[in-house]
Amino acid sequence: MSTPRISVVIPTYKEVENIPLISAEIDANLSGEEYEIIFVDDNSQDGSEAAVAQLADSIPARIIVRTEDRGLSTAVIRGIEEARGDYVVVMDCDLSHPASAIAPMISKLQSGENDFVVGSRYIKGGSFDDDWGFFRLLNSKIATWLALPLCHIKDPMSGFFAFQRSKFESCAHLAPTGYKIGLEIMVKGEFNKPGEHPIHFKDREHGESKLSLKEQLLYLRHLRRLYRFKYPLISEFFQFGFVGGTGFVIDTLIYFALQAFFGMGHNLARAISFWPAATWNWIWNRTITFTDREKSRHLTQWLSFLGTSLIGFAMNYGTYAVLTANVPFFETYKFLALVIGVLVGMGFNFMVARIFVFRPLEEEILEEEKELHH
Ligand code: GDD
Ligand code: MN
C-alpha cells in the first residue's frame, strides 16, 4: 500500500446515512490525490460498518469501531494515531464541513503560510446557514470570545482543521475531554502560524446533533484547563484574586452583621470577620486556584494559610497607614493608598500561598526544572 498524502479523519456516531455522501464528496474533491478516509465510530450499530465496506472498492476508506472508549475527542485522537498521510484533516460526517475546502487548506500548510488551518465560519468569506436562532449564535460567539486569548482564531470551536501529521507529537499532554479537540491540539501543540480558511457551514440534514448543554459546561472546564496550561501564573493569580474578591464580600457582610445584629463594636467586628473570610478563601483556593497542588493535611494547611493571611493583612494595613501618614499625595488620595495596600498584601499572600501553603507536586517541580535546563 502506498502511503497517502492526506488522511481525512472523521469521527462518527450514528451517521450511516451520511457516510456514503461525505465519502463521495471527498472523493470528488480529492481526485488525483493520494488520500485515505478513516472513520472512527463508537459502535453505532446502525450499519455504518457495512456502509464503509461497500464503499471500500471504489474509495480508500476504512472504519475503526471502538467498543470501549467513547467520545468525540478520543475518537479524533485515535483516528490521527491511525493516520499515515503527511497531512491530517479532521472533519464532521454530517456534511456541515465542505470537502471542497480540504485542498486549499492543505495548500496553506504546504506553502508554509500556516502550520495549522481551521475551516472557519467567522472570517471574511465564511458563512453558515442563516436559520441559526439568536441564542445559538450568541452562545457560539461568547464561547469564541472566551477562547480568544488562547489563540487568535475567529472560529476556534471548529471541528474542521488540518495540520502536518509529524507535528502531532509536539502536542503535550492532550486531555481529550469535551468537544473542542481542535482547540486543544492547537493550544498544546507547537504551532506558530495558525490560520483560517473560510467555509460555508451547512446545517445537518440527516441524524441529530450531539452538542448538548452538558457539553457546553464541559467546554468551560476545558477552557480553564487550557488557560492553566498556557498561562499558568496569570491564571493562578486571576483565580486567587477572584477567590479573594468573594472573600472580601464575606468579610464585609460579617463585619456589618456583627454590628447590626449583635451590637458589637466596629473594632471587635473587624477582628472577628477576618477569620471566617480567610477560611473561606482557604477552602476555595484549595479547591479552585490550586486544584492540582499537593493535598496537605487540612489543619496544617488551614493554619498556615491563616497565618500568611494575617501577615498579608498587616502588610496591607501597614502600607495604608505609612503612605497616608507620610506621603502628602496619599494624604489627599487615601483610596489609592488603600488599593496599593490591597495589592501589596495580596501579592505577598499569593507568593507565599503558591510556594509554601499549596505546595507544588514533586513532578511539577521536576518538570519546571527540566524546562529551565532546556
Ligand atoms: N466517534 C464519535 N463519538 N463521534 C462522535 C461523537 C462520539 O461520541 N459525538 C459526535 N460525533 C461525531 C458526529 O457523528 C459528527 O460526525 C461529528 O462528530 C460532529 O458531531 P455533531 O453532533 O454533528 O456536532 P455539532 O454539529 O453539534 O458540532 C459541530 O460544531 C461545533 C462548533 O459549533 C462540530 O463541528 C463540532 O466539532 C464543533 O465543535
Ligand atoms: Mn453537526
pLDDT digits (tens, 9 = 90+) for 265-292: 988 998 899 899 999 999 999 998 998 8
pLDDT of residue 241: 94
- Position 374 pLDDT exceeds 90: no
Neighbours of 165 (CB within 10 A): 17
pLDDT for the residue numbered 293: 87
Ligand found nearest the CA of 137: 1
**Which residue among 210, 213, 216 is best mutated to probe the pocket of ligand 1, counting the most ligand atoms within 8 A of its Cβ?**
210
Return the ligand 1 atom nearest residue 13 CA. 14
Ligand lying closest to the C-alpha of residue 93: 1
- pLDDT tens-digit series, residues 314-360: 999 999 999 999 999 998 888 899 889 989 999 999 999 999 999 88
pLDDT at residue 119 is higher than 80: yes
The pLDDT value recorded for residue 18 is: 97
DSSP symbols for 170-235: G-TT----SS-HHHHHHHHS--S-EEEEE-EEPPPSSS-----HHHHHHHHHHHHHHHHHHSHHHH
**Phi, psi at 100, each rounded to 5°:** -65, -15
* pLDDT tens-place string over residues 207-260: 777 666 777 788 888 898 899 899 999 999 999 999 999 999 999 999 999 999
- Looking at ligand 1, which residue's alpha carbon is closest to its atom 13? 12
To test ligand 1's pocket by mutation, which of 179, 201, 202, 213 has the most ligand atoms within 8 angstroms of CB?
A: 179
Q: What residues does ligand 1 touch, defined as CB less than 6 Å away?
A: 11-13, 15, 40-42, 70-72, 75, 92-94, 96, 140, 157, 159, 179-180, 204, 209-211
**For the CA of 15, the nearest atom of ligand 1:** 14
Distance from C-alpha of 278 to C-alpha of 349, rounded to nearest angstrom: 11
Q: How far, in Å, from the CA of 93 to the mean position of ligand 1?
A: 8
Sheet holding 161-164, edge to edge: 61-65, 35-41, 6-12, 87-90, 161-164, 116-120, 194-198
Query: Across residues 48-64, what is the average pLDDT?
Result: 95
Please enumerate in sequence order all residues whose Cβ is within 8 A of that of 93, keeping only pairs 6 or more positions apart, or say none: 10, 11, 12, 15, 18, 19, 22, 39
Question: Which tens digit of pLDDT belongs to each residue from 158-178?
Answer: 999 999 999 998 887 788 776
CA of 341 to the centre of ligand 1 (A): 50
- Local confidence band at 203 (pLDDT 50, 70, 90 cut-offs): confident
- The one-character DSSP state at 270 is H
pTM for the full predicted model: 0.81
pLDDT of residue 335: 87
Name which residue sits closest to atom 10 of ligand 1, judged by CA: 72
Amino acid residing at 29: N
**pLDDT given for residue 221 in this prediction:** 86
Provide mean pLDDT across the span 149-163.
92
- 108 grid coordinates: 496553506
181: number of Cβ within 10 Å: 24
Quote the ligand 2 centre to 74 CA distance (angstroms).
Answer: 17
Q: How confident is the model at residue 193 (pLDDT cuts 50, 70, 90)?
A: very high
- How far, in Å, is the centroid of ligand 2 from the Cα of 359? 44
> What residue owns the CA closest to ligand 1's atom 35?
159
Atom of ligand 1 nearest to the CA of 160: 35
Q: Is the pLDDT of residue 371 over 70?
A: no
CB atoms within 10 A of CB 172: 9
Determine the distance separating the centroid of ligand 2 and the alpha carbon of 161, expressed in angstroms: 14
In whole numbers, what is the pLDDT of the chain averaged over residues? 90
Q: What residue owns the CA closest to ligand 1's atom 12? A: 12
Dihedral sign of CA atoms 49, 43, 173, 235 in order: positive
Measured distance between the N- and C-terminal CA atoms of the chain, rounded to whole angstroms: 40
Share of the chain above pLDDT 90, in %: 69
Structural domains for the chain: 6-230 (3.90.550.10), 232-365 (no CATH)
SS3 38: strand
